[in-house]
Amino acid sequence: MKHYLYITITAALLLTLTASCDKDFLDKTPEGEYIEDNFYDSDAALYASTAPLYNRAWFDYNTRGMLLLGSIRANDVFGQWNWPEYGLFTVTALDKYLGDIWQGFFSVVTMANATIDNIETKATANVTEEAKRTAIGEARLMRGVALYYALHVWGPLVLFEHNKDAVENPLRPRNYEEDVFQFVINDLTYAADNLPESPYAAGRATCWSAKAMLAKVYLARSGWDKPQRDESDLAQAKKYALDVIEHSGSKLLDDYHNLFKYRYNNNEESLLACQWYKSTTMQWYVCNATISDLCADSKMIGGVMCWSTLNASPEMLMQYRYKGSNGAYKWEKTRRDATFCTNGVHYDYIAIADGGYTYDGKFAPIKKGVVGGPNDDNDGFVDMMCSPLNTYIIRLADVYLIYAEACLGNSASLTGEGLQYFNAVRRRAGIDEATSITLEDIIRERRVEFGVESINWYSMLEWYKWKPNFMLNYLNNQYRGYTYNELRVGEDNELSFHNDDPYVSTVSTEFGDLVLPKEVPNITKDNIFLPYPEHDVIQNPYLKEEPQHYNFNE
């Protein structure tokens, strides 16, 4: 563990001196010879030192773990040959990607720690106090986000604020979930108090980024291991969410499709996102490497190699049916087409030079995150495992639904304050507004709005921690692992599943015939969290012992 942490922390220290981003993101580091002790000699150098927190720090998680955790585990998508164990809840402690995910989160933590320590100990008198507070705010914001995610994967975590302490004493106990929450809230509160209202460069975090995350974290904590959501936490969630909604200047984009086009990076709906380096040649560790895992048809990305076998899960496709204002069921199209391809759908912004792209297959491969080819579509900025698209951490639609859910609180339904923001999200999607909503309505709305954005599992885990029996029933009735041989689209956008293979076993549903999986998963309290990676458990036996409280006075 000491050797492993030393490698991770050393990499973080080196990368805090490297800014890999384009001229629109921040000014380049001043020219000249720099070493660690004299690098932090200007505000510009300080801001350059935090740039890797927006890309390199997140690379290991973003590259694959994000999809496995946030979308496959949520049953947004499923593929029999692309990491099915994450959707079927059969991941073991020896799983390669589990170790990568652990390392990915702690890469963010260690890089943030190194940045904070360097600013506090190495910044010269030429650096303004405002720049110091802003840079530390960025680091603490990213550290808080990483720990928020990791909490949803493993529960108790090893907390530390200084890398030197972790290197000198690597055998550290886990800390209770309540302490992880407090650690995250402390980080985000500092960021909210010290980050500027407007970004000092395109894509940089603001106080609104931190406040949006605070709303999310307080909502999560409000029901965590509680039979009733805590009213004070709900009040905090509503306070921060409404502040962002009313004062940040952020707005929903009119066209849902535009959210996932590279030319709309850092749009007015985006509150915090990973900033991937845009180059005509792949720049490893600072590029968005997800495109090849998402795309199933190389024609969509200009002939660039891709290998995804992931399709929308049958149960996810069922979510696009909703009850209209007249009580009759309808099928929505805008968000479905922006998230998944279905037969006959045409994209005029994909393969522009060829007159657009029309999907003519039998399945529902992923569209969201598949930005098109390198030329007319994306100014040359597409390569194998290299996309110019930023990765959203939080956007305004999320804050709208957080506010609506916090207003619902412990009530059975919501008809008043908060409903207007729920309906604003639906209005943008072109579907009927609701006059009353329940938790089930919020679950469905979040799944459809954020499908394949790799955050849906985190919401599901939060609902489980509040309503475990309800969510275990929900998760075990999701048609997990089921597939289909053909998906058809009707005249009114309705979907139906069909099977013409007499050699497979099927089950009939109201939407048609689904192919039975070889094994139906059983999701319980024992496997809803993932195991700690075996390598780290061997090196640090404390990971098998009871958690301890974190000393916040250290």
Backbone angles phi, psi at 262, to 5 degrees: -60, -30
Q: Identify the band that residue 281 occupies on the pLDDT scale cut at 50, 70 and 90.
A: confident
Q: Is 493 left (phi over 0), alpha (psi -120 to 50) or beta?
A: left
CB atoms within 10 A of CB 307: 12
Angle between helices 439-449 and 419-429 (to 10 degrees): 40
Tell me the C-alpha distance between 459 and 446, whole Å: 8
Q: Are 332 and 447 in contact (CB under 8 A)?
A: no
CA distance 130 to 126: 12
Share of the chain above pLDDT 70, in %: 93
Q: With pLDDT > 90 as the criterion, what percentage of the chain qualifies?
A: 85
Give the pLDDT band (50/70/90) at residue 182. very high
Q: By C-alpha distance, which of 366, 370, 376, 365 is closest to 389?
A: 370
What is the per-residue pLDDT for 554?
54
**Which residues are registered as beta bridge partners of 365?**
311
Structure token digits, residue 155: 């529960």
Radius of gyration of the chain (CA): 23
Of 395, 401, 396, 393, residue with least CA distance to 238: 401
Lowest mean pLDDT among 27-31, 259-263, 274-278, 511-515: 27-31
Confidence at 29, pLDDT banded by 50, 70, 90: very low
Mean pLDDT value across the chain: 92
pLDDT at 519: 85
Angle between helices 456-466 and 129-154 (to 10 degrees): 70
pLDDT at res. 518: 86
Neighbour tally for 495: CB within 10 Å: 22
Q: Which pLDDT value is given to residue 1?
A: 41
At 385, the pLDDT band (50, 70, 90 cuts) reads confident
Of the listed ranges 36-40, 254-258, 532-536, the one predicted with least confidence: 36-40
Residue 538 identity (one-letter amino acid)? I
pLDDT digits (tens, 9 = 90+) for 535-545: 999 999 999 99
Tokens encoding 4: 């492993």
Residue 146: is its pLDDT beyond 80? Answer: yes
In a 3-state reduction of DSSP, which class is residue 296? coil
pTM score above 0.85: yes
Identify the CA nearest to 393 among candidates 273, 542, 540.
273
Residues 6 or more apart whose CB falls under 8 angstroms from that of 408 comprise 414, 418, 437, 438, 439, 442
User: 20 pLDDT exceeds 70?
Assistant: no
Ramachandran bin of 530, using left for φ above 0, alpha for ψ from -120 to 50, beta for the remaining angles = beta
> Which bin fits 472, alpha (ψ -120 to 50), beta or left (φ > 0)?
alpha
Residue 17 has pLDDT above 90, yes or no: no
Which DSSP category does 175 fall into? B
Angle at 176 between CA 173 and CA 181, to 5 degrees: 125
Strand residue runs (E) in 442-500 = 486-489, 495-498
| 62-115 pLDDT tens trace | 999 999 999 999 999 999 999 999 999 999 999 999 999 999 999 999 999 999
Residue 19 pLDDT > 60, yes or no? no
pLDDT at 34: 41
Q: Which of 532, 533, 531, 523 is nearest to 89 (CA)?
A: 523
pLDDT at 36: 63
Is residue 26 over pLDDT 80?
Answer: no
Distance CA 528, CA 537 (A): 19
Do 331 and 492 contact (CB within 8 A), yes or no? yes
Mean pLDDT, to the nearest integer, of 122-144?
97
In this predicted structure, what is the pLDDT of residue 316?
98
The region of weakest confidence among 140-149, 252-261, 367-376 is 367-376
